[in-house]
Amino acid sequence: MVHARPRFAARTRLLAALGLVALVVGGVETPGVQADSAAQPGNAFGSSSVSTERLGGADQYAVAVAISQRLFPAGGAPVVYLAGGQNFADALAAGPIAAHEGGAILYTGSSALPDAVGQELVRLAPARVEVLGGTSVIGAAVVDQVTALLAPATVVERVAGADAAGTAAALSAVAFAPHAATTVFVTGSGSAQDAVAAGPAAAQLGGPLLLVAPTSLPAATAAELTRLAPDRVVIVGATSAVSDAVSAAIDAIVPLVERVTGADAYATAGAVATRFFSAAATDVIAGGPGYANGLAAVPLAANRHAPILFFGPEDMLATPTRDWLVATHPSRIVIAGSVSEVVRAQMVGFSDGRLPVPPATPAYPSYDSGYHDPGEMLTLIRATELAYPTLVHVFSMGKSYEGRDIWAAKISDNVSVEENEPEVLIDTLHHADEHLGVEQALYMLATLTSQYATDAYVRRLVNERVVWIVFAMNPDGWAYDLSGGKYHFWRKNRQPYGGYYGTDINRNYGYKWACCSGSSGNPSAYNFRGPTVWSTPEARLLRDFVASRVIGGVQLIKTHVTLHTNGELILYPDGWSKATYPPDITADDHAVFVYMARNMSRMNGYRPMKSSSLYVTDGDEIDWLYHQYRIFSFTFELYPVDQPTLTAMVYPPYSIVAAQTARNRGALLYLIDAAGCPWAIIGKAAQYCPTGTPIPPPSGLLG
Ligand code: 3K0
Ligand code: CA
Ligand code: ZN
């Protein structure tokens, strides 16, 4: 929220960053070939017509071995290209050469050959090993190790130019006679992802890949182009990688030069696929954001007549890759390296049509593109449902004023069954510019699903509770706040009244609405309460949803948090009354609120306080949830405090999101746990909760 209010004053110090989310590639995964399987509970793509095959491994050495095993299941490769695992420059051009020669690419350390790589070399028993690069990349000791492992007749030779371009030219010279290749591919020697994308296309057209500097045509490359005398050169990549001047210099040697490029490496890979691979392709290789895995996969892609596209570093599949899958609906996807289940679900779902391309929505500004815009949010929650169908059910709570869906998910084991378990509600984005709440909700969805198989606490909570997440209560305000590629500091919904837009949804609830100067009757005000109680469709939908959780006369939802920003606060009812001990809350319930807030603050470093201590609010959500249903209902005001500018206060950069969402893991899991019997925290479970509470929730004040 943008208005200068007390939380902007100095408060708790920010906790140190608690860690970062793991990147998709480089994540540890069991080495070896992994076919699609239902080995993990909840992971089931079985109903799909699309299969995925993960050529996974703990590192690039293991991934390359897995790819080699897939390509040569019975061993017997004629040639192996051995590349430096820490320095791939000399291997950039190896893919099309390996494809042309029917060989494999493996990686080695500079001073020692990893055991698994040695074993793979023995299994492949090649007649020839080409060691790529000079002794600084792959030392003589490695060459000796390789020689000792293989049959005496094996040729082990080094291919090295003065630089990467020279090595590429030397590889080409070994493999191709003059006029043997009609098309040659060229990429920038510093643009490895372009080289990966170009590799399968070069192989498909039977030519080599050569490298250039961004602004100069290396002599070795020019000489090799002259020697090969192809009809055509295809440059892959942007002018920042291969300038127009370099293109012109190539044009002076070769009759035809064309360039294939996109807005970034993902789009360039998509453009290469579109230009050189049939839309009828039934097989696709997806590399990671890095290039080592993709480079090793080029011979396999060539063998399958498939392009290589990149899935991307985080939880969203890159859009150009998505578009290729939607356009070509491949039946098999080979994944080089590790990938998260939700990204795998996106690849499968976009290929088989179960995951629709979301309707166009406004996007975050490019500098904040890591934040999930409304379309990305929908894709991510639907992909999570696809990946964990027994744990997640996605649904729309209903339509906003302007007709947008308000998306929600139920998370529990046996998710399709009413199991009469204690329930928890998490909602976000009552206020349109409080974007971090959406990220926090997505973080919890990811935590409860991706950690189900590995974290006993998460598994117990998912098994013994039902968690409802409402991902964005105010989709109309959100779309407006993002419109036009810039932020608008917009808080309310977009319902017009009295010549102004917007009601503050968090002043429109039906407990003591308009009672106490905790909202405004002026439609131009930031905290306009609406012309009547429950006038906003959004608050009504939340009301009706919560009412629907009364089953057999019992409200199953026991605890709740609404995620707002900012101030790093934990707020509890009442908002309407300044009284320290509110007249309308029982002493025991007040004690539960105080204890729960303190316990959660121990875990996230936020400051606990009564809502009215911040300022008086009337008609807000948490007062209504408590008084209507006795739900232990909290407002979290997320990061930050104390920023130098209003923009920094309201729109923190994406770089803080991983740490600031992970920061609330413990507190939010505790809130879920506490639903078992909130009064257990004050030692009164026997008095308040029926026997048979599944697992006793935490009790007492945490130390
Ligand atoms: O429960 C509450 O006190 C809500 C506080 C909330 C509000 O609605 O005024 N604070 S915010 O607008 O700055 N997110
Ligand atoms: Ca369940
Ligand atoms: Zn808010």
Q: Is residue 123 within a helix (H) or strand (E), and if so which, with residue range?
A: helix 115-124
Boundary-marking domain end, from 352, 377, 410: 352
CB 442 within 8 A of CB 502: no
Residue 701 forms part of a structural domain:
no
Which atom of ligand 1 lies closest to the CA of 637?
Answer: 14
Ligand 1 atom closest to residue 507's alpha carbon, by position in its atom list: 8
Q: Is 622 in the pocket of ligand 1 (CB under 6 A)?
A: yes
- Atom 9 in ligand 1: residue holding the nearest Cα: 617
* CA distance linking residue 48 with residue 57, whole number of Å: 25
- Residues 84/110, Cβ–Cβ less than 8 Å: yes
Establish whether residue 594 lines the binding site of ligand 1, counting it when its CB lies within 6 angstroms of any ligand atom: no
The reply to whether 19 falls in a domain is: yes
Measured in Å, residue 639 CA sits from the centre of ligand 3 at 12
From the alpha carbon of 615, which atom of ligand 1 is closest? 3
Q: Does residue 210 lie within any of the structural domains?
A: yes
Res 27: pLDDT: 24
Is there an atom of ligand 1 within 6 Å of 133 CB?
no
Ligand 1 near 437 CB (within 6 A): no
Q: Is 619 in the pocket of ligand 1 (CB under 6 A)?
A: no
CB 611 within 8 A of CB 574: yes
Q: Which ligand is nearest to the CA of 412?
A: 2
Distance CA 507, CA 493 (A): 11
| CB neighbour list of residue 682: distance below 8 Å, 6 or more residues apart | 588, 591, 592, 595, 699
The answer to whether residues 335 and 458 belong to one domain is no
Query: Relative to the CA of 527, which ligand 1 atom is closest?
Result: 9
The last residue of a domain, from among 293, 323, 352: 352
Distance CA 528, CA 545 (A): 24
Are residues 252 and 318 located together in one domain of the fold?
Answer: yes
CA of 564, closest atom in ligand 1: 14
Residues 700/681, Cβ–Cβ less than 8 Å:
yes
- Are 433 and 491 a contacting pair, CB within 8 Å? yes
Give the closest residue (by CA) to ligand 1 atom 13: 1
- Residue 284 has a pLDDT of 87
Strand 104-108's sheet: what is its strand order? 104-108, 79-84, 128-132, 155-159
671 alpha carbon, distance to own chain's centre: 25
602, 480 contact by CB (below 8 A): no
**The pLDDT value given to residue 339:** 93
Q: Atom 4 (ligand 1): residue with closest C-alpha?
A: 635
Atom of ligand 1 at shortest range from CA of 491: 12
Phi first, then psi: give them for residue 283, nearest 5 degrees: -145, 140
Q: Which of 605, 608, 611 is nearest to 625 (CA)?
A: 611
Give the list of residues 6+ apart from residue 442 with CB closer than 8 angstroms, or none.
Answer: 315, 372, 377, 380, 381, 471
C-beta 649 within 6 A of ligand 1: no
Does 446 reside within a domain? yes
E strand or H helix at 97: helix 94-101
Strand pairing report for 632-638 and 557-565: parallel
- What is the Cα–Cα distance from 550 to 630, expressed in whole angstroms? 12
Q: How far does the chain reach from its first CA to its final CA, in angstroms? A: 32
Find the 102 Cα to ligand 1 centroid distance in Å. Answer: 65
CATH of the domain at 494: 3.40.630.10
Q: Which helix (H) or strand (E) holds 132?
A: strand 128-132
Q: Which of the listed residues 506, 516, 529 should we mutate to test ligand 1's pocket, taking the one with most ligand atoms within 8 A of CB? A: 506
| pLDDT score recorded for residue 701 | 82
Per-residue pLDDT of 206-216, as tens digits, reads 999 999 999 99
Q: What is the distance between the alpha carbons of residues 317 and 419, in angstroms, rounded to a whole number? A: 34
Distance CA 485, CA 83 (A): 44
Would you say 631 and 524 are in contact if contact means Cβ atoms under 8 Å apart? Answer: no
Q: What span, in angstroms and rounded, lies between the C-alpha atoms of 158 and 187?
A: 23
Tell me if 700 is assigned to some domain.
no
Do 343 and 401 belong together in one domain? no
Task: Using the structure block, give the residue that is written with the tokens 């920010």.
Answer: 14
Tally of CA atoms within 13 A in the half-sphere of 20 that contains its CB:
9
Report the C-alpha dihedral over residues 455, 461, 467, 469, rounded to 10 degrees: -30
Atom of ligand 1 nearest to the CA of 434: 14
Q: Is the beta carbon of 508 within 6 A of some atom in ligand 1?
A: no
Same domain, 53 and 162: yes
3-state secondary structure of 83: strand
Q: What is the pTM of this model?
A: 0.92
Ligand 2 centroid to Cα of residue 446, in Å, is 17
CB-ligand 1 contact for 566 (6 Å cutoff): no
Q: Tell me whether residue 361 is in a domain.
A: no
Nearest protein CA to atom 7 of ligand 1, as residue = 506
- Three-class secondary structure assignment of 523-539: CCCCCECCCCCCCCHHH
Do residues 567 and 656 both lie within one domain?
yes
Q: What is the pLDDT of residues 302-351, one digit of tens each?
A: 999 999 999 988 999 999 999 999 999 999 999 999 899 999 999 999 99
Residue 385: per-residue pLDDT:
98
562 Cα–ligand 2 center, Å? 22
Give the chain's length: 703
Q: Which of 611, 620, 631 to mutate to test the pocket of ligand 1 (most atoms within 8 A of CB)?
A: 620
Can you give the pLDDT at residue 18?
A: 19
Tell me the catalytic residues. Answer: 637
Q: Please check whether residues 325 and 422 belong to one and the same domain.
A: no
Answer whether 519 contacts ligand 1 (Cβ < 6 A): no
The long-range contacts involving 609-612, CB below 8 angstroms and separated by at least 24 positions, are: 609/569, 609/570, 609/571, 609/572, 610/571, 610/572, 610/573, 610/574, 610/580, 610/582, 611/571, 611/572, 611/573, 611/574, 611/575, 611/635, 612/574, 612/575, 612/576, 612/577, 612/578, 612/579
CA of 571 to the centre of ligand 1 (A): 9
418 and 317 co-located in one domain: no
In the block, tokens 């992971």 appear at 43
Residue 431: CB within 6 Å of ligand 1?
A: yes
Distance 666 CA to ligand 1 centre (A): 22
Residue 562 CA to ligand 3 centre (angstroms) = 9
Q: Are residues 420 and 272 in the same domain?
A: no
- Give which of 392, 473, 468 is closest to 425, Cα–Cα: 468
415 lines ligand 1 (CB under 6 A): no
Strand partners, 437: none
Residue 1, ligand 1, Cβ within 6 A: yes
Q: Which helix (H) or strand (E) holds 285?
A: strand 283-287
The span from the CA of 152 to the CA of 127, in Å, is 10
Q: Which residues surround ligand 3, an ion (CB under 5 A)?
A: 431, 434, 564
- Count of domains in the chain? 2
CB 538 within 8 A of CB 545: no
Q: Which residues of the chain have pLDDT under 50?
A: 1-44
Q: How many CB atoms lie within 10 A of CB 455?
A: 15
Q: pLDDT at position 283, please? A: 87
**What's the CA gap between 18 and 14, in Å, rounded?**
11
582 and 510 together in one domain:
yes
Tokens of 73: 């299941």
Ligand 1 centroid–CA 564 distance in Å is 7
324 and 188 in a common domain = yes
Q: 10 Å Cβ neighbour count for 282?
A: 14
Ligand 1: atom nearest CA of 565 is: 14
Same domain, 344 and 473: no
378 part of a folded domain: no
For residue 472, the enclosing domain spans 393-688
For the chain, how long is the longest CA-to-CA vector? 92
Is the domain of 554 the same as that of 490? yes
Domain endpoint, select from 293, 321, 352: 352
Query: Phi then psi for 394, rounded to 5 degrees?
Result: -100, 140
Could you give the angle at the alpha carbon of 634 between the alpha carbons of 633 and 637, nearest 5°?
160
Distance 416 CA to ligand 2 centre (A): 8
Residue with CA at minimum distance from ligand 1 atom 11: 1
CB crowding 411-433: b at 16 or more within 10 Å, else e? bbbebeeeeebbbbbbbbbbbbb
Instruction: Please give the structure tokens belonging to residue 417.
Output: 């069954």
What secondary structure letter does DSSP report for 26?
Answer: T
Which residue's CA lies nearest to atom 12 of ligand 1? 1
Are 92 and 195 in contact by the 8 Å Cβ rule? The answer is yes
Per the domain annotation, does 696 fall within a domain?
Answer: no
Distance between CA atoms of residues 443 and 604, nearest Å = 15
* Ligand nearest, relative to CA of residue 624: 1
Residue 196 near ligand 1, beta carbon < 6 Å: no
